[in-house]
Structure 1
Amino acid sequence: MTVTIREIKEQDNAAVEAIIRSCLKEYGGDRQGTAWCDPDLGRFSEIYGEPEMRYWVAEDESGRILGGAGFGPLPGEKDVCELQKMYTLPEARGTGIARRLVETVLQHAADHYALYYLETFGNMTRAQSFYRKHGFEQTDQPMGSTGHISCDVFFTKRLRKDTQ
C-alpha cells in the first residue's frame, strides 16, 4: 500500500472526524471530557494551517484517509504544544503509518515549541507503547487546560535540547 502524508484539506474534515469518533467509541471515549465533545471536531482545515498549529493526514493511493495527527499550543503552558487528534483506522495500525505521522508532527513542532505533551486513556495500551517507543516519557500529572478531563495517562517529550 502506498501512503502519502500531507497537510489536511477541507475535503478531509468529515473523514478525519469519522476516524476520531470511531476510535473514541472503540476505547470508550465517546463521552464528556474527551475529544468527543470538542466543538471544533470536524473543522480541522479551518483551525490548522498556521505554523504553530498544523495537522496532517495519511492518504492511501485511492484517496482514502487512514488517519491523522497534529499539534497546537497547549492552553495554559508556555512553549509547550500538544499532540492533537492522533488516530488511525484499525487496518492502518502496525503498518508504520502512525510512525510517519508522529515523525512529521514532531519535526514541525520542534520549530516552534520546546516540549511536547499528550494525553490518552489507560486502556489504550498499544498507543502508550507506541509513544514510549518514540521517546515520550509518562508523567503523573496533566498539564495545561485541554478540557479532556477523562484522559488519565500523560506523556511529554523534549523537542529541543537547548531548553530545560
Structure 2
Amino acid sequence: MITPITPQDDAAICRIILKVGAEFGAVGEGFGPGDDEVRCMSRHYRLEAKSRYFVARLNGEVVGGAGIAPLGEMCELRKLFLLPAARGHGIGRRLAEACLAFAGEQGFSACYLDTLGTMTAAIGLYESLGFRHLDAPLMASEHGGCDVWMLKDLHQ
C-alpha cells in the first residue's frame, strides 16, 4: 500500500534511507541520505509547498518511500529507497508512479532526478518510466556524489 508519509513513519523511513544509502555507498555529505530532512521527512514535506513524500507498506510495515519536491520550474524525484526484501515486487514502480501523478497534479512540466550509477535496478526503473539520461546535472546540486542525472517530460 502506498500512502503519504505521516509523523509515525519518520523513524522507519529514516532507518531505511540510511541503511539503503550505506548499502550503495551513499554516506555523508554529497548524498541524499545525509540531508537534514531525512530525520523528519513528514515535517519537511508538509512544510514545502507542492511537495509530497510517499511510503510503501508491506504487511503493515514501512518498506520504502519516495518523494516529489519543486526544483525551480520543474520538480525532482527524491529519495526513492526500498529495503532489499521489498525489491522486485513492483513497489518502487508504484512509489515512482504515485510521485509522478502528484507532480502532474501540481502542474510541473518535467521531473529531474540524480542517482548513483551503482543503483542499476533503479536506473532501469527510471528508464522504463520515460526518464532520459543527461550528460551533466541540470544545476549545482547538494548531491555532488551522484553520477547519473535523468529528466522526464511530464507532458508526454
Q: TM-score range by the shorter chain?
A: over 0.9
2:80 pairs with 1:86 = yes
Superposition deviation, residue 160 in structure 1: 2.0
Q: 2: distance between equivalents of 1:143 and 1:17?
A: 27
Structure 2: runs of 5 or more not aligned: none
Return the offset for 1:143. Answer: 1.9
Distance, in Å, in 2 between the alignment partners of 1:155 and 1:46 is 27
Equivalent position of 1:130 in the other structure: 125
Q: Secondary structure at the match of 1:67?
A: strand
Residue in 1 that maps onto 2:110: 115
Partner of 2:96: 102
When normalised by structure 1's length, the TM-score is 0.89
CA deviations on 1:97-128 (whole Å, 9 max, x unpaired) are 11111111101101221110000011111111
* Counterpart-to-counterpart distance in 1, 2:18 and 2:126: 21
Counterpart amino acid of residue 145 in structure 2: S
> Bigger shift: 136-145 or 150-159?
136-145
Q: In structure 2, what is the equivalent of residue 30 of structure 1? A: 27
The structure where helix makes up a greater share of residues is: 2
Shift of 1:39: 1.3
Supply the distance in 2 between the matched residues of 1:126 and 1:142 (Cα, whole angstroms). 20
Q: Which runs of 5+ in 1 are unaligned?
A: none
- AA aligned opposite 1:37: G
3-state SS of the aligned residue for 1:18? helix
Q: CA deviation at 1:51?
A: 5.7
Q: 1:42 and 1:98 mapped to 2: Cα distance? A: 21
| Counterpart position of 2:52 | 54
